[in-house]
Each structure stands twice: as C-alpha cells, then as structure tokens.
Structure 1
Amino acid sequence: MLSLRRRAMIGGALSAMASILVGAFVLLSSIEDNVLDRFDRALADRHSQLVVALSSTSDAPDKLSERIYDPAYATPFSGRYWQITSPDGQIYTSNSMFDASMKEPSGNPKSLTVRSIMGPEAEPIRSIFQQITLEDGSIWGVSVAESLTALTAERQQTRRSLLLAFVLVGLLGLAGAILQTTTILHPLDKLRRDVAKRWEQDEDLTTTDYPEEVAPLVDDINELLARNRDIIARARRQAADLAHALKTPTAILRNELALLAAQNHDMEASLDALDRVDAQLGRSLARMRAANSGAAANIRTDLSNSVARFTRLFKSMAERDGKFMNTSCAPSLSIRMDQQDIEEVIGNLLDNALKWCSSEISLTAKKWKNGVEILIEDDGPGIPQGQERQALKSGGRLDSSKPGTGLGLAIAIDLLQAYGAELNLEKSSTFGGLAVRIFIPGNLRPVTPQKEAA
C-alpha cells in the first residue's frame, strides 16, 4: 500500500496536471479565437476601404489600384489580395494576384462572408466577400483576402509561449505540492520519531507538541505505550518468578537422586532426565524473556564489563582443567540488550567452547560496521561441514560423548533473534575448531521470536 506521502504527492501532481491541462486548453482556445477575430476585423476594415474606393471609381474599375495605397497589393503573391466582380461579370484584381483569381461563394451573399480558401499558388488564405449595391444601382462582388501564413506563425508562437509558461507553472505546482505534503506530514514524521525516542526513554508523548487533528492519536499512543510497558514488565516478572519457583523443587530432586546414587542405586538415567528438564525449563523461560524483550530495548548494557567478569570466571575454570583462555575486548563497548540476556548467551557459548576445546578458547569483542561483533573460538573438533544447520536445531547434538542437553546454543539463538541480532557457525581460522560469530546491530529494535519448526 502506498504511503501517505506518496498518495498526497501523486494526488497533488495529478490534480495540478489536470488543472493545468484544462486551463491551457481554455486559455489557448480563447487566445486563438481572439487572434482570429482580430485578423478578421482587419480584413473587414480593408474590405470597407475597397468598397469606398470602388464607389468613386465604379465607372473605371481598372483604375481602382491607383486609389488603394498599399504596396502589398502591388507586389505579386505578397499574401494580400483584393478582387471585384462587375455587374457584367468582368473580374478585376490587385496586381498581387498576378493572373490568378479567387472563387466567390455561391449564392452571392449580401452580408460579409468570411472563408478560409486556397489562393494563388495554392496558398491558404482568409477571404471576406460581400455583394454590394452602389448608389447608381449597380451590383458588385467585392472580395478581400490575406495569407494565413502570418496567422499560423502567430498561433504557433503563442502555443510555444503558453507551453513554456504552463511547464513552468506545472513545475512550480509540483514543488508546491511537495512542499505542502512535507509540511502537512511533518507532524506525523515527528510523531514517529518521538514514539521511538519515548519508548527508549520510557516517557509519554506531549499532546500540545502536535496539531489538534493529531492530538487524539497521540493520546491513544500514550495509552498503548503504557499498556504495552505494563504487560511486558508483568510478563518478565512472571518469568523470573517462575524460574525462581522451579529452582527449589529441582534442587531437592537432584539432591535426592544424588543420595540414592551414593547408595549404589543407578540414577544416571534419572539425573540425565532431570538435566534435560532443567535445560528445557531454562530455554522456555529464556523464550518468555525473549518474547518480551521490548521492555529492555531502552536499556544499554556495558558489554566490556560483562566480558571482564566472564574472563575472570572462565579463566579460572580453564586453568582448573589445564586449559587456557584468551580475551580481547575493545574498551567502552555498549549494546542495546538486556544484561541478563546477553550474559546468558555468552555464558552458554563459553561453556560449550570450554567443554569441547582441546586446550584453548578465545573471546573477542569489538565494534564492527554499525554494531558490535562477538567472536568465540576454540581448538576442538568443530562441526563437520554441512552439519551446521543440525547443530542449530533445538537439542541437536552431533556428539553425545560429552555431558549436556544440546539446548545451550538454541537458547542463545532464541535470545539473539528477539533483538534482531545474528549468530553464525564457522570454522575458526585461528584454532581450526568452531567459531561462533555474533553480530549485534547498533540500531536494533526488538522483534518477535520465530516459532521453532515442528
């Protein structure tokens, strides 16, 4: 569907074009009619002059040329002509006619008759004819004509001038439509920017900052924002409460199973099942947080501080197992993600890397393009080429020789997708094992997590 801006601009342009076309047609028709009327009046004046001259020389019409003082009538094919027909049918013409003559209208009308006909040398001319009766009772046919070439040239010049003027008017109209559309839609653009800003700053919009037509919409948006914040906050609190409520029962079950295992009972299957229950609950709770991660979109997490804490924790864990961890983090890195979410992602990925590495893991965090890139690498066996998709599935485990549920990576993906971030599995160019590359855009907005395919 077209945006309001495009609709307004297209509508304004079409309206302006239609108005200009109608105006141009009406104005051009009016101007051409006026030009033709002026042309005909000039012909009528010359016709009157010819009649007056004929009245004084009717007894010697061959001397009429001497009574009309217009050089154009003496120049052959000059474009200006006259012709008279005597009562006995004799035709007298101006010298400009040379040996040609003009065809008179049928019926010998006694009123001025204006026609467009072909003149000498097949030249289009405009002619006025009238049959007049002199004082002596003689009847004469009097014609005056002029070439239409000048009239046609004048009309063409008028059309060109008008076309240029209307093109200029059209461009001004289009610019006016664009300016008007921009001015009218400016409050809506401001509203869009303010909604994003107020969402991040957890503030309401100010109704008086907008025109009265937009004010009711602002009130509705304020109410919607307040409801949305409340729903998201409640959902995240419920997820946290549920996680806390489940920790105690599962801890009791784990202790009871550990006591039975100490009494030489085979509890391996039960403990494994409990581990999977814990992991599934952890993922479900993570999804609940991810689905409502919009409440944290206005929070900026100090990633450098989180990486420093993970470095201290996992370095000691690696040294305990005889392994080594290397960390490189750019100073003052900040991301628009909830601290608990990003730390759960990094923690799961570092735990996997430490579990599968042979002797070394690496964590790198840096600014990249318009966001932040996190790279976690190890020197373990990695993932066979072509099986990356299987590893990304919920609970997908390519090797069951190590303890675990296979849900840590799935939880990380769920949380990252909620923020529009990306996770890719690659082969480490440094260690030869697995490389997990995360990109978190700087202008990210929360998105609805995708449901896992059945």
Structure 2
Amino acid sequence: MLSLRKRAWISGGIAALVSLTVGTFLLYSFLNQRVLLRFDTALVEKHTRLVAALSSVSDNPGLLSELLFDPAYQTPFSGRYWQVTGPDGEIFTSGSLLDATLPGSAQATPALDIRYAANPEVEEVRLAQQLITLEDGSTWTVTVAETVAELNAERVETRRSLVVAFALVALIGMASVLFQTATIIGPLNRLRRDVAQRWDRDEELSEADYPEEVAPLVADINGLLARNREIISRSRRQAADLAHALKTPSAILRNELTLLAEGSHDMDKALEALDRVDAQLGRSLARLRAANSGEATQVRTDLSHSVDRFGRMFGMMARREGKSISLSCEPGLTVRMDAQDIEEVLGNLLDNALKWCRSGIALTARRRPQGIEVLIEDDGPGIPAADRVEAMRSGARLDTSKPGTGLGLAIASDLLQAYGATIALEDSAALGGLAVRITLPTVQARMAPKG
C-alpha cells in the first residue's frame, strides 16, 4: 500500500497536471484570440486609410499609390497588399502585388468582411473587404490584405512563452506539493518518533503537541502504550514468578539425586535428565521473556560494557583451565536488546566456545553497515557445515563427550530472533575452529524514518 507521502505526491501531481493543462489551453485560446483581434484591428485601420484615400482621388485612382506611404506596399510580394475595383470593373493594386490580384473580389458586400483567403498568385492572407459607395454614387470594392505569416509567427512566440511560463509554474507547483506534503506529514513523523522516545521514558504523549486532526489518534496511542506496558510488565512478572517457583523443586530434586549418587546409586542419567529439564525450562522462560520484549520495546543496552564484563569473567575461567581469551570491542556500542537477554546470549556462546576450544577463544565486537557485529571464534574441532542446522535445533547434541544440554545455541538463536537479530555458524578463518557471527540491531536502525 502506498505511503501517505506518496499518495499526496501522486494526487497533488495529478491535480497540478490537470490544472496546468486546462489552464494552458484556456489561456492559450484567450491569447490566440487577442493576437487575432489585434491583427484584425490593424487590418481594419489600413482599410479605413485606403477608403479615405480613395474618397480623395476617386476620379483618378491611379494616385492611390502616392497617398499610401507604406514602403511595404511598394515591395513586391512583401506580404502587405491593397486592391481597389472600380464601378467598371477596372482593378487598381499596390505595387507589392505586381500583376497579381487578391482573391474574392466578387464576394464583396456592404458589410466589412474579414476572412482568410488564398489563390495561386498570393500566399494565404487575411483580408478586409467591403463594397463602398462614395458620395457621387459610384460603387467600389476596397480590399486590404496581409500575409498570415506574421500572425502565425506571433502565435508561435505566444505558445513558446506560455510553455516556458507554465513550465516554471509547474516547477513551483511541484515544489509547493512537496513542501505541503512535508508540512502535513511532519506531525505524523514526529508522532512516530515521540512514540518510541516516550515508550523508553514511560511517558504519555501530549495531545496539545499535535494538530487537532491527529489528537484523537494520539489519545488512542496513549491507551495502547499503557495497555502494552501493562501486558509486558505482567508477562515478565509471570515469567519471573514461574522461574522462581520452578527453581526450588528443581534444587530439591537435584539435592536428593546427589545424595543418592553419593550412596553408590547410579544417578548420572537422572541428573542429566534434570539438567535437560532445567535447560528446557530456561529456554522456554527466555523465549517467553523475549516474546514480551523484543520488537515491542525500545530498550538500550551498553554492549561494550557487557563485553568487557564477560571478558573479565570468562578470562578468569579460561586461566583456571590453562586457556586464554582475546577481546576486541569498539567503545560506545549500544544495541536494542534487553541487558539480561544479550548477556544470556553472550554467556551461552562464550561458555560453548570455552568448553570446546583447545587453547583459546576470541571475541570481536564492531560496527557494520547492517548493524553491530559480534564474532566469537575458537580453535576447537568446529562443527561440520552439514551439521550446523541440526546444532541450532532444540536439544540437539552432536557430541556427548563433554557435559551439557545442547541448548546453548538454540536459546541464543531464540533470543536473537525475538529482537530481529541474526546468528550464523561459520568456519573461523583466524583460529580454525567454529565462528559464531551475530548481527544485532542498533538503536539508530530502529529510529530511522521509513518512507
């Protein structure tokens, strides 16, 4: 579905295009008529001057050329002509016609007639023609004509000016549409940003900060935010209560099994089963906690601080086993994950790496264009490419030579997916064992506006 911004651009563009098209057509028609009217007015004035000159020399029409001083009347086929037809049918013409005559003399009427005309001798002209009766009672046909080339040239120039003017108007109109769209969409963009920020601060949105058309939506969002906070808070409390309720009986069972084991009873399978129950419960509780956090929250965690703390803790564990850990973490890394969740992911992955490595592990955290990347590598046997999908499944243990439940990677994958993060198992280019690459969403990535 198109965004509001694109809808406004398209509708505004279509409206502007229709308005400009209709406006251009109407204005061009009006200006075209004005150009023709001006042309005809000048033609009528020339006709009037010719009639006045004829009245003065009706007894000797050959003197008309001397009374009409326009040089164009003397230039052959200049595009400006006059013609007078006497009562006896004798024709007198301007020098510009040479031996040619104007079309339509037989159609003359007492009313002034202005029309387009042409014949094989003269290019298309617009002529003013009238049958004149002088004071002595004689009847004359008086015609003046002018080529339409000048009229067409003026129309072309008018059309060109209109195209330029309306192109400028179109640019201004489109800029106005963009500005108007930005102005209208602005409160919605601000609302989206405020929702994320107010969620973090547990504050309500103020209806007075938004236009009256958006205020009802703000009130509804306040209600949804309050309801979501309550649901998430209740779910997390229930998960915590359930974890607390299960820890006690699990601890009692473990103590009883340990006592039986000390009494020469083989309790290894029972203890392993209990370990798996604890791990499955831990995974389920983690998934429940993440499902009520993940994309619904705007929590921020200082990843650099967590990496440093886990580095010190696992560093001591590695030294006790005669192993080492190498850390490389950019400062100021902040991720959009709950601190408890990201630290559970780091703890599971580091615990697996330390358990299977031969002499050392390495952790690298850095910024990447797609988010923050955390790479955990070891020099252990690694996991064959064909078995990596199985390793991510719930409870899949590919090697039982070392203690564990096989749920570390599955729990990490569940938590990461809840926050839109990714995890991939690869071969370590630096150490030769397994490399676990996770890409975490940054705070900025969540806050970036969408089109």
Q: Would you say same fold, with TM above 0.5?
A: yes
- The alpha-carbon deviation at position 97 of structure 1 amounts to 0.7
Equivalent-residue separation in structure 2 for 1:240 and 1:229 (angstroms): 16
Residue 393 of structure 1 aligns with an amino acid whose one-letter code is R
Asked whether the equivalents of residues 119 and 125 of structure 1 are also in contact (C-alpha less than 8 Å), the reply is no
Asked whether the equivalents of residues 294 and 337 of structure 2 are also in contact (C-alpha less than 8 Å), the reply is no
Residues 181-212 of structure 1 show CA distances to partners (whole Å, capped at 9, x for unaligned) of 22222212211221121122222112221122
- The alpha-carbon deviation at position 33 of structure 1 amounts to 0.9
Residue 29 of structure 1 aligns with an amino acid whose one-letter code is S
Check 1:127–1:81 CA distance in 2 against 1; reply closer, same or farther (3 A cut): same
- The alpha-carbon deviation at position 410 of structure 1 amounts to 0.7
Asked whether the equivalents of residues 300 and 443 of structure 2 are also in contact (C-alpha less than 8 Å), the reply is no
Match of 1:405 in 2: 405
Check 1:305–1:160 CA distance in 2 against 1; reply closer, same or farther (3 A cut): closer
Instruction: Calculate percent identity across the aligned residue pairs.
Output: 62
Match of 2:79 in 1: 79
Equivalent-residue separation in structure 2 for 1:103 and 1:298 (angstroms): 88
Equivalent-residue separation in structure 2 for 1:187 and 1:173 (angstroms): 22
Residues 326-365 of structure 1 show CA distances to partners (whole Å, capped at 9, x for unaligned) of 4455556554432221221122112212222223333444
Equivalent-residue separation in structure 2 for 1:247 and 1:228 (angstroms): 28
**3-state DSSP of counterpart to 1:212:** coil
5+ residue gaps in structure 2? 447-451
Residue 253 of structure 2 aligns with an amino acid whose one-letter code is L
- The alpha-carbon deviation at position 292 of structure 1 amounts to 1.3
- Between 1:88-97 and 1:310-319, the stretch displaced more is 310-319
Match of 2:359 in 1: 359
* 1:89-238 matches, cutoff 5 A: 89-104=89-104, 107-118=107-118, 122-238=122-238
- The alpha-carbon deviation at position 282 of structure 1 amounts to 1.2
Asked whether the equivalents of residues 104 and 117 of structure 2 are also in contact (C-alpha less than 8 Å), the reply is no
The size of the alignment, in residue pairs, is 446
Equivalent-residue separation in structure 2 for 1:62 and 1:139 (angstroms): 17
- Between 1:39-48 and 1:384-393, the stretch displaced more is 384-393
- The alpha-carbon deviation at position 445 of structure 1 amounts to 7.1
Residues 68-123 of structure 1 show CA distances to partners (whole Å, capped at 9, x for unaligned) of 33332222212211112223322221111100011216554332121212267542
Asked whether the equivalents of residues 286 and 411 of structure 1 are also in contact (C-alpha less than 8 Å), the reply is yes
Equivalent-residue separation in structure 1 for 2:44 and 2:123 (angstroms): 20
Check 1:147–1:345 CA distance in 2 against 1; reply closer, same or farther (3 A cut): same
Asked whether the equivalents of residues 97 and 120 of structure 1 are also in contact (C-alpha less than 8 Å), the reply is no
- Between 1:190-199 and 1:3-12, the stretch displaced more is 3-12
Residues 401-443 of structure 1 show CA distances to partners (whole Å, capped at 9, x for unaligned) of 2232211111011112222333222222333211223333432
* 1:405-424 matches, cutoff 5 A: 405-424=405-424
* 1:322-401 matches, cutoff 5 A: 322-329=322-329, 334-366=334-366, 372-401=372-401
**3-state DSSP of counterpart to 2:443:** coil
- The alpha-carbon deviation at position 309 of structure 1 amounts to 4.4
Residue 43 of structure 1 aligns with an amino acid whose one-letter code is L
Asked whether the equivalents of residues 295 and 419 of structure 2 are also in contact (C-alpha less than 8 Å), the reply is no
Match of 1:13 in 2: 13
Residue 347 of structure 1 aligns with an amino acid whose one-letter code is G
Equivalent-residue separation in structure 2 for 1:52 and 1:34 (angstroms): 27
Match of 1:452 in 2: none
Asked whether the equivalents of residues 371 and 442 of structure 1 are also in contact (C-alpha less than 8 Å), the reply is yes
Check 1:305–1:176 CA distance in 2 against 1; reply closer, same or farther (3 A cut): closer
Asked whether the equivalents of residues 376 and 435 of structure 1 are also in contact (C-alpha less than 8 Å), the reply is yes
Equivalent-residue separation in structure 1 for 2:87 and 2:332 (angstroms): 114
Residue 14 of structure 2 aligns with an amino acid whose one-letter code is L
Asked whether the equivalents of residues 232 and 295 of structure 1 are also in contact (C-alpha less than 8 Å), the reply is no
- Between 1:50-59 and 1:69-78, the stretch displaced more is 50-59
Match of 2:57 in 1: 57
Equivalent-residue separation in structure 2 for 1:9 and 1:78 (angstroms): 53
- The alpha-carbon deviation at position 381 of structure 1 amounts to 0.6
Asked whether the equivalents of residues 110 and 132 of structure 1 are also in contact (C-alpha less than 8 Å), the reply is yes
Residue 429 of structure 2 aligns with an amino acid whose one-letter code is S
**3-state DSSP of counterpart to 2:128:** strand
Equivalent-residue separation in structure 1 for 2:329 and 2:108 (angstroms): 108
Residues 261-292 of structure 1 show CA distances to partners (whole Å, capped at 9, x for unaligned) of 44444444333332222221111111011111
Asked whether the equivalents of residues 311 and 327 of structure 2 are also in contact (C-alpha less than 8 Å), the reply is yes
- Between 1:136-145 and 1:402-411, the stretch displaced more is 136-145
**3-state DSSP of counterpart to 1:164:** helix
- Between 1:40-49 and 1:114-123, the stretch displaced more is 114-123
* 1:273-284 matches, cutoff 5 A: 273-284=273-284
Asked whether the equivalents of residues 354 and 361 of structure 1 are also in contact (C-alpha less than 8 Å), the reply is yes
Check 1:91–1:208 CA distance in 2 against 1; reply closer, same or farther (3 A cut): same
Asked whether the equivalents of residues 420 and 444 of structure 1 are also in contact (C-alpha less than 8 Å), the reply is no
